[in-house]
Amino acid sequence: MTSCKVINDRTYMVCIDIVTCSFGMTKIITLASSTAIINNSSFDIEVAENVIKANQIIPYWPRYIKEGVMCVRYLGGILSASCFSIKDKHRTLLRMNDIEHPTLHVEVTATDYDGFKINFSDYKIGDAPLLIVNSLLNQSISFCQKEDFHTQILPPQYYVYYTWNDSLKPQELILATNGDNLTIKLNPVCGIIDKENENPTYYAIFHDGPQTVLIFSSETQIIDAVSDTSSINESMNSYIQIGLRCLVISIINDINHEDLLYISLNPTKDISKYQIDKNRYVKFDGDVAEISDEEGNSIHVKRDTLDGFWVGYGFSTNHQAINLKINNLQIDNQLQITLFPTILYPIISKATATDIPEKPFIELSLFKSQSVRSNTIHIKYFKLLIQEFFMSIDQGLIIAILAFIKQQKDPAAPTVDMNPDLKRIDKPLETLFKGETDNTSEESTIYFDNLHLSPLKIHVSFSMHGAKASEQLLAEYPIVDFLLQILNVAEVQDVILKLNFYERKNDRYTITKLTNEISNHYEDQFLKQLHVVVLGLDV
């Protein structure tokens, strides 16, 4: 994405998409607005001064970008439009002031590499922010949106699908029973209202499939059942632990009998002393040492190395926990002629250099719960940490790897399918946002409380040494061709690339959508760093 200043006008943000055409000789460059509106609903809608027909995508240039507010209504409507924010990533269900079609779902996504996408769609199960259920026998529940004066009353033994009256106001709910007020957010939680009353009211927020539910009850058994309290306190008595001292994998191209890579997961290195605190060290005599405290108590400890690969897996009926560690990883180049014998290995940062055993090179922690009642997968904790590492590679190895993974084709006359190229030219927006307009996915949604992928710090060295690739081979891998052209411009010797972390909290994704977003995030970070650090360009 780049900016374009127009004289006597504003600065426009433009997204640039570059792909190689089917026959590999031409690049197709698509320029699009940084904001695109996608109408996947069944009805034509009006957005500000634009009209968006059903199943249509249009570019959008917001005039009041600081306010970041968009208004929408059905085509031909005479009632006031519904407004929402387009400044940040969110999804909500809009009230449309229409009796036949009272709601319209909107999802706003925002990234650094392809701008804003505003996706409208018809209502489906799970789109309502909240399903409110009043299972009390003789007590009504009053509720309203925070900073909103439209109070609603839900009678006993009734339920209602609720959405916000004003999506620009705080998306929190204020509850009232017998003069007791409570403000809640829509995260899974249990609580109590009217604590001083002889018959207090209990409530719980939980996920029932794709729908978030708020239930009120006077019976704690109902609250415990819907909130899976028993499963929360459930201990994981089953545990499996696997440790491999050393694991070696050799990759060989069996067609031309050429050794490519030698991957080894090795134990951690031995250390001769261990720092307990600032002024105390333990020195080993052979493999044994003695540690004593100020009171004269002492124990003997044995020095040992950590396994190269270790995984622990705990599970119960409703929960699963995984902790995976790769303590030491090294990848060697097995080509006969190479400039870099070792391709990848972890390094100890100068800022944290110490004799204390280093952290695992790769560590994965995961805690997952699955409700049998609603068949909902809930990832409460997912973290992947990768330590600083060195990567050195030459052109010869890249070409050898491409030849290794290249699929063998029949020796028939080559054919070129230019239909994708023609579609990209005729309907560029539809091609760019194909994934956003495809609503046929039946993948289940996974809820994430805390998802974190660590930042990456990579020391990169590259050389053009080695065999040259044919144009036909590079045409099949345009991203590799692009990288080789960039790296051929400047000397790359111990260049440090820093990629930002990826984090999401209290969100939901399908596996396909999540993997695409993560890969796009790190790919964009990587290409930006190449332009800034290697080429010295201001991007």
Residues 49 and 136 in one domain: no
CA torsion, ordered 170, 171, 177, 179, to nearest 10 deg:
0
Residues 527 and 383 in one domain: yes
The whole-number pLDDT of residue 18 equals: 75
**3-class DSSP state of 507:** strand
Q: Kindly state whether residue 111 falls inside one of the protein's structural domains.
A: yes
Q: Which of 270, 268, 266 is nearest to 244 (CA)?
A: 266
Residues 377 and 434 in one domain: yes
Q: Which of residues 172, 195, 227 is at a domain's end?
A: 227
Model-level pTM? 0.76
Q: Kindly state whether residue 8 falls inside one of the protein's structural domains.
A: no
The whole-number pLDDT of residue 274 equals: 57
Q: Can you state the angle between helices 395-405 and 478-487, rounded to 10 degrees? A: 180
The whole-number pLDDT of residue 133 equals: 93
Residues 95 and 180 in one domain: no
Q: Kindly state whether residue 243 falls inside one of the protein's structural domains.
A: no
Q: Kindly state whether residue 518 falls inside one of the protein's structural domains.
A: yes
- Domain of 75? 34-121
Q: Kindly state whether residue 280 falls inside one of the protein's structural domains.
A: no
CA distance 207 to 131: 10
Q: Kindly state whether residue 250 falls inside one of the protein's structural domains.
A: no
Contact 68, 118 (CB under 8 A): no
Q: Which of residues 69, 91, 121 is at a domain's end?
A: 121
Q: Which of residues 227, 262, 291 is at a domain's end?
A: 227
CA distance 443 to 320: 21
CA distance 135 to 471: 70
The whole-number pLDDT of residue 355 equals: 46
Residues 102 and 138 in one domain: no
The whole-number pLDDT of residue 196 equals: 73
Backbone angles phi, psi at 420, to 5 degrees: -60, -35
Q: Kindly state whether residue 369 falls inside one of the protein's structural domains.
A: yes
The whole-number pLDDT of residue 490 equals: 65
The residues near 467 (Cβ < 8 Å, ≥ 6 apart) are 395, 396, 399, 400
Residues 116 and 135 in one domain: no
Residues 366 and 494 in one domain: yes
Residues 360 and 505 in one domain: yes
Mean pLDDT, consecutive 10-residue stretches, the chain (539 aa), reads 76 78 74 85 82 78 75 81 85 87 89 81 90 90 88 92 90 80 82 79 85 89 76 75 92 89 85 57 68 67 79 88 93 90 85 60 91 75 94 89 76 65 77 62 80 93 79 72 72 86 87 88 84 67
Q: Give how many domains the chain has, as a whole number.
A: 3
Q: Kindly state whether residue 4 falls inside one of the protein's structural domains.
A: no
Residues 89 and 172 in one domain: no
Residues 472 and 363 in one domain: yes
The whole-number pLDDT of residue 251 equals: 93
Residues 467 and 528 in one domain: yes
CA distance 405 to 460: 23
Residues 318 and 431 in one domain: yes
